[in-house]
Structure 1
Amino acid sequence: MLDAVKFQAKIQNGLIQIPDEYKQELFEGDDIQVIVLVKKKSSSKKDIIDELTVNQIQVNGVLDREEIYSG
């Protein structure tokens, strides 16, 4: 039988601290399963799609948006 607990923690010196309220349920030598979901910090770095949206490139022989949608 699997019981699940969910908590947020920061990694410190390569270790994840288990909150005190869960320590009484977990014992030395217990087999546990750990799933780590990392909350990524938003980046101001633009990807290629962002860059091309701002700085469109013209290619000869290819219709642009106006040509595609006009009549």
Structure 2
Amino acid sequence: MLNALEFQAKIQNGLIQIPDEYKQELGEEDDIRVIVLVKKKSFPKKDIIDELTENPVQVNGVLSREEIYSR
């Protein structure tokens, strides 16, 4: 027989803390199946193009766009 429990928890030192209200339902010898659904708090990481667009690299001694097209 399968029973489902659902709760939210934080991971601390690689362990998921079971809330006190569920501890009596889960025994040390119980076989359990864990499904983890993660809600990410941040946006996807930026790639190199995003970083360079926001923070262009300034290089001395290189022609500017205006200098290139004025020739």
TM-score w.r.t. length of structure 2: 0.59
Query: Could you tell me how far 1:46 is from its partner in structure 2?
Result: 5.3
Query: Could you tell me how far 1:45 is from its partner in structure 2?
Result: 4.9
Runs of 4+ in 1 over 6 A off after TM superposition: none
Residue equivalent to 2:5:
5
TM-score w.r.t. length of structure 1: 0.59
Unaligned residue ranges in structure 1 (runs of 5+): 52-71
CA-atom RMSD in angstroms:
1.8
Unaligned residue ranges in structure 2 (runs of 5+): 51-71
Number of residue-to-residue matches in the alignment: 48
- Counterpart of 2:32 in 1: which secondary structure? coil
Residues 27, 44 of structure 1: alpha-carbon distance in 2 compared, 3 angstrom cutoff: closer
